[in-house]
C-alpha cells in the first residue's frame, strides 16, 4: 500500500492524535463525500437535551478509523492474522462506515425510504469520488469494502471489528458522545480492551482478565441509550421533524408547486431513492435553512412546526395509552392530530447473546484456552441480557391541554 511521503496527524480530544500514513486514507478524507460529514452532526436531535454535543460525523468517522488502525498495530493476533490487503480494507471500511448518513438521521430515515447502510454502500461503490479513489488502487476494492460493512466479506474478522457488539464504531461513539455531551456514562477503558483483544477460532475475543472492563462497556452503552440517545426531549424533537416532513409530503400531494419553495427537497419528495450527488447536497445547513423558509410559509401547520424546531418549543409527552384522549383534546383545540399527536416507540436490549450466526456476540478467552460467549461467564451480563426495556410515549403540544 502506498505510503504518504510524510505521516499526517489530526488532533482529536478522544484519541489525542488520529494517525494517517497511507495515501488511500488521506485521499478518501479529501473526497467530497467524506468532507460532507463535516456538515452533518453526529447527534442531531440529542442536541436539544445536551447542547454541547456539537461534534461532526467526520470526527466520529476518523475516530472509528483510528481505533481500527490501533487494532491492527497494537493487537498482535490481528496484525498476524490479517493480510496486508485486509488491513487496508479494514481501515477504509472503518473510515467510511457512516458515509451514507443523512442529517438528523433518525427522522430522515423514516422519509428516505431506505436505510443509511444502503446509501453507505451506494456511495462506496459509486459513482463517487470515494469510489474513484478506491478503483484507482484496484477495480474490485469498492465492492470489497462495502462487503465488510454489510457483513458479506469472506473473512468474518473484518466485519466483527467494524460492526458487532464490540467494535471500532461503538467504541468511538460511546467515548466521543459522552465526552462532548458532558455525561460520564460512556467512559470505557479502550486501552485495556485493545490490550486484551485476541483472535481465536476465527473470532475476535477478549481475555478473561478483561471481563470487568467489558461489563463496564455494556453498562456504558445501556446507560447512554436511555440517558442520552433516547431521552424523551430528543425524541420529541425527532417527532417534530417527522411531522414537518409528513406535512410537506401532504402539501406536495395537494399541489406540486410547493417544490419551488423548497428546492432542496425536490428529489426527496419526487423520487424513491436519492443519487449520490443528491445525497451529497443534503446536510445540516440545508435542513436548517429549509426550516427558516418554512417558518415564513403561508401554511399554518408548516410554519408552526418549523417555529417549534427553530425555537426548541418541544412537544410534551405522556404514556402511549393516553393517545385517544390526546387526539380528542387536539381536535377540540383545532389542531390536526395527524401532525400534533405522534406516537414513538423505542426499545433497547443491553446485550443480546446468540442472535443470527453468533458472529455478533462477544466472546471471552478463558485461562485454559477455550472460548465462551460473554453471558455464560459474566453474571452481570447474564442478568442484563434478560432486560428488554421498551418505552412507548405519545407526543403532543402542551397548548392542547391548557
Ligand atoms: Ca457510526
CATH number reported for the structural domain that contains residue 334 in this entry: 1.20.1250.30
Q: Is residue 386 part of a domain?
A: no
Give me ligand 1 centre to Cα 160, in Å: 14
pLDDT at 389: 84
What's the CA gap between 292 and 42, in Å, rounded?
22
Give me ligand 1 centre to Cα 61, in Å: 7
Give me ligand 1 centre to Cα 172, in Å: 8
Give me ligand 1 centre to Cα 171, in Å: 10
Residues with Cβ within 8 Å of 53's Cβ and at least 6 positions away in sequence, in order, are 41, 42, 43, 46, 47, 177, 180, 181
Give me ligand 1 centre to Cα 58, in Å: 10
Which DSSP symbol is given to 352? -
Give me ligand 1 centre to Cα 173, in Å: 7
Give me ligand 1 centre to Cα 196, in Å: 23
Q: Are residues 106 and 167 in the same domain?
A: yes
What's the CA gap between 398 and 75, in Å, rounded?
54
For the ranges 76-80, 133-137, 153-157, 397-401, the lowest mean pLDDT is seen at 397-401
Whether 318 has a pLDDT exceeding 80, the answer reads yes
Give me ligand 1 centre to Cα 340, in Å: 31
| Average pLDDT for 381-393 | 89
Query: 3-state DSSP call for residue 56?
Result: strand
| Of the residues 230, 255, 288, the one at which a domain ends | 230
Give me ligand 1 centre to Cα 377, in Å: 28
CA nearest neighbour of 394 among 314, 316, 320: 320
Q: How many CB atoms lie within 10 A of CB 240?
A: 25
Residues with Cβ within 8 Å of 29's Cβ and at least 6 positions away in sequence, in order, are 20, 35, 62, 95
Number of structural domains (the chain) is: 2
Give me ligand 1 centre to Cα 274, in Å: 21
Residue with the bigger pLDDT between 108 and 158: it is 158
| Of the residues 193, 208, 230, the one at which a domain ends | 230
The bridge status of strand 363-365 relative to strand 197-200 is unpaired
Q: Are residues 137 and 239 in the same domain?
A: no
Show the domain range for 332: 232-347+392-396
Q: Is residue 385 part of a domain?
A: no
Give me ligand 1 centre to Cα 170, in Å: 7
Q: What is the pLDDT of residues 278-307, one digit of tens each?
A: 999 999 999 999 999 999 999 999 999 999
Residue with the bigger pLDDT between 358 and 201: it is 201
Q: Is residue 373 part of a domain?
A: no
Q: Is residue 381 part of a domain?
A: no
Q: How confident is the model at residue 378 (pLDDT cuts 50, 70, 90)?
A: very high
Q: Are residues 179 and 310 in the same domain?
A: no
Q: Are residues 19 and 110 in the same domain?
A: yes
Q: Are residues 214 and 244 in the same domain?
A: no
| Average pLDDT for 343-352 | 87
Give me ligand 1 centre to Cα 60, in Å: 7
Mean confidence (pLDDT) of the chain: 94
| Of the residues 209, 230, 251, the one at which a domain ends | 230
Q: Does the bond joining 85 to the residue before it have cis omega, within 30 degrees of 0?
A: no
Give me ligand 1 centre to Cα 97, in Å: 6
Give me ligand 1 centre to Cα 354, in Å: 23
Q: What is the pLDDT of residues 215-239, one digit of tens each?
A: 999 999 999 998 999 999 999 999 9
Q: Are residues 172 and 310 in the same domain?
A: no
Cβ-in-10-Å burial (0-12, 13-18, 19+) of 159 comes to buried
Give me ligand 1 centre to Cα 41, in Å: 12
Q: Are residues 212 and 341 in the same domain?
A: no
Q: Residue 9 belongs to a domain with what CATH number?
A: 1.10.3210.10
pLDDT at 354: 66
Give me ligand 1 centre to Cα 205, in Å: 21
Give me ligand 1 centre to Cα 366, in Å: 30
Q: Are residues 15 and 157 in the same domain?
A: yes
What's the CA gap between 127 and 312, in Å, rounded?
38
Whether 177 has a pLDDT exceeding 90, the answer reads yes
Query: 3-state DSSP call for residue 138?
Result: coil
| Average pLDDT for 25-52 | 96
The percentage of residues in the chain with a pLDDT greater than 70, rounded to a whole number, is 99
Give me ligand 1 centre to Cα 221, in Å: 14
Give me ligand 1 centre to Cα 243, in Å: 26
Whole-prediction pTM value?
0.96
What's the CA gap between 329 and 321, in Å, rounded?
14
Q: Are residues 55 and 84 in the same domain?
A: yes
pLDDT at 356: 65
Whether 352 has a pLDDT exceeding 90, the answer reads no
Give me ligand 1 centre to Cα 399, in Å: 37
Q: Are residues 267 and 172 in the same domain?
A: no
Give me ligand 1 centre to Cα 121, in Å: 14
Tell me which residue has cell 485521499: 27
Give me ligand 1 centre to Cα 338, in Å: 32
Amino acid at each position: 500500500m502506498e505510503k504518504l511521503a510524510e505521516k499526517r496527524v489530526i488532533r482529536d480530544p478522544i484519541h489525542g492524535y488520529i494517525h494517517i500514513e497511507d495515501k488511500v486514507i488521506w485521499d478518501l478524507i479529501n473526497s467530497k463525500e467524506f468532507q460532507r460529514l463535516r456538515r452533518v452532526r453526529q447527534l442531531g436531535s440529542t442536541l436539544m437535551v445536551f447542547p454541547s454535543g456539537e461534534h461532526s460525523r467526520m470526527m466520529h468517522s476518523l475516530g472509528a478509523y483510528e481505533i481500527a488502525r490501533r487494532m491492527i498495530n497494537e493487537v498482535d493476533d490481528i496484525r498476524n492474522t490479517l493480510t496486508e490487503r485486509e488491513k487496508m480494507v479494514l481501515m477504509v471500511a472503518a473510515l467510511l462506515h457512516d458515509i451514507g448518513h443523512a442529517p438528523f438521521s433518525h427522522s430522515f430515515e423514516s422519509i428516505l425510504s431506505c436505510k443509511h447502510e444502503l446509501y453507505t454502500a451506494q456511495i462506496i461503490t459509486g459513482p463517487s469520488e470515494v469510489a474513484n479513489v478506491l478503483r484507482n488502487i484496484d477495480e474490485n476494492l469498492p465492492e470489497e469494502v462495502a462487503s465488510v460493512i454489510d457483513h458479506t466479506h469472506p473473512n468474518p474478522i473484518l466485519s466483527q471489528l467494524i460492526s458487532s457488539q464490540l467494535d471500532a464504531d461503538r467504541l468511538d461513539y460511546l467515548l466521543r458522545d459522552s465526552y462532548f455531551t458532558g455525561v460520564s456514562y460512556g467512559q470505557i477503558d479502550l486501552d485495556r480492551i485493545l490490550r486484551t483483544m485476541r483472535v481465536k477460532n476465527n473470532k475476535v475475543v477478549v481475555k478473561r482478565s478483561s471481563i470487568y472492563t467489558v461489563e463496564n462497556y455494556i453498562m456504558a452503552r445501556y446507560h447512554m441509550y436511555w440517558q442520552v440517545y433516547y431521552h424523551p426531549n430528543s425524541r420529541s424533537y425527532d417527532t417534530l421533524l417527522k411531522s414537518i416532513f409528513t406535512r410537506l409530503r401532504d402539501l406536495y400531494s395537494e399541489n406540486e408547486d410547493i417544490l419551488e419553495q423548497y428546492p432542496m427537497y425536490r428529489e426527496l419528495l419526487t423520487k424513491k431513492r436519492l443519487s449520490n450527488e443528491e445525497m451529497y447536497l443534503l446536510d445540516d445547513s440545508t435542513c436548517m435553512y429549509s426550516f427558516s423558509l418554512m417558518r415564513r410559509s403561508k401554511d399554518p401547520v408548516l410554519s408552526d412546526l418549523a417555529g417549534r424546531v427553530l425555537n426548541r418549543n418541544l412537544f410534551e409527552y405522556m404514556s402511549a395509552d393516553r393517545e385517544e384522549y390526546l387526539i380528542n383534546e387536539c381536535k377540540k383545540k383545532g389542531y390536526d392530530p395527524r401532525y400534533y399527536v405522534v406516537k414513538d416507540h423505542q426499545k433497547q436490549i443491553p446485550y443480546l447473546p446468540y442472535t443470527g450466526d453468533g458472529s455478533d456476540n462477544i466472546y471471552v478467552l478463558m485461562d485454559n484456552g477455550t472460548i465462551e460467549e460473554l453471558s455464560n461467564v459474566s453474571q452481570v451480563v447474564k442478568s442484563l441480557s434478560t432486560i428488554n426495556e421498551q418505552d412507548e410515549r405519545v407526543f403532543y403540544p402542551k397548548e392542547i391541554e391548557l
